[in-house]
Amino acid sequence: MSIITITTDLGYRDPYLAMVKGILYSKQPNAKIVDLACDVNPHAHNEGAFALRSALPYFPQETIHLFAIKFLNSTDTIKNLSIDNTRYLLSKFNNQYIICPDNGLFTLIDKTFNEPVYQLYFDSEKQHTFYLRDIFAEIANKLVNKVPLEEYCAETQDYCKLYAFESFSTPSNLQGMVLYEDDFGNLITTITKQEFEKQVGNKRFSIALPSQNITKIHNTYDDVKIGDVVCFFNSMDLLEISLLGQSANKVAVKKTVLSKYKIDRIIVDIYD
């Protein structure tokens, strides 16, 4: 039985995702199709990359991952980053297949990514409109059927490489970014447990948010009462900030008379 996952910003309100699954099941009725992350914020391909990267270790070899989130930005930005939303790529990572637009996904998953990458052939420009259904589903079918790669793609060295923000430290602090906000409103940051233990250790510290000052690392959500802030290292060993029973944005959003904005940067101040 083949496993095919889908990561996309199509969501569940419209019929588009069902169309994709219908095509996949009509071609591979015995396949197992997994909604890896199908309600990603529109065009938030960094969120999709985080979801796929997090889930990859739990899937068996030969799983096929369809990643259908394009990078949208200004024309100049896209040109400078060598992004080409009209190209579609195939590669293998940890013995699992990944099919995606040329949007920097491979190096967002692993900054040391160095696997062969193939550019996909397709028949018509019209297929761009719904490439997940009209191109990716067919490529997945070919992979399941063991069709030789040279019949539908060619190896390329020229593809977009993007790199995720990495935490960094100074003598007095450790700085990271909010990497992902899940459906519970939990804020997952780039700060790893290893980095925190190395830089902070047993020293006093504080994480200043607009509505809260965090000075303690907890073990689990259950360490606090409903409505309290909990800060701990999650199952991925990433620093997570949560507001039990509510969205953490309530403590990570600064409101002014004119506007409100989310806090993206997380700074851990370290004291001797």
- Strand locations in 106-222 (E): 117-120, 153-156, 168-169, 173-181, 187-192, 204-209, 212-214
Q: What integer pLDDT is reported at residue 208 of this predicted model? A: 86
Domain 168-271, CATH among 2.40.30.10, 2.60.40.1080, 2.40.30.90, 2.70.150.10 = 2.40.30.90
Write down how long the chain is.
Answer: 272
Question: Which tens digit of pLDDT belongs to each residue from 111-145?
Answer: 999 999 999 998 777 677 899 999 999 999 999 99
**Domain range annotation of the chain:** 3-156, 168-271
Q: What integer pLDDT is reported at residue 171 of this predicted model? A: 85
Enter the pTM of the model: 0.85
Give the chain's mean pLDDT.
87
Q: What integer pLDDT is reported at residue 263 of this predicted model? A: 60
Average pLDDT rounded to a whole number, residues 212-236: 89
Strands 32-37 and 3-8: parallel
Alpha carbons 47 and 49: distance in angstroms, whole number: 5
Average pLDDT rounded to a whole number, residues 103-109: 93
CATH number, domain 3-156: 3.40.50.10790
The alpha-helical segments, DSSP class H, found in 3-121 are 16-27, 45-55, 75-80, 105-109
Q: What integer pLDDT is reported at residue 229 of this predicted model? A: 85
Q: What integer pLDDT is reported at residue 63 of this predicted model? A: 98
Strands 212-214 and 153-156: unpaired
Alpha carbons 106 and 102: distance in angstroms, whole number: 9
Q: What integer pLDDT is reported at residue 75 of this predicted model? A: 54
Dig out the tokens for 162 from the structure.
């993007």
Question: Which tens digit of pLDDT belongs to each residue from 188-206?
Answer: 999 999 999 999 999 999 9
Dig out the tokens for 36 from the structure.
């890896």
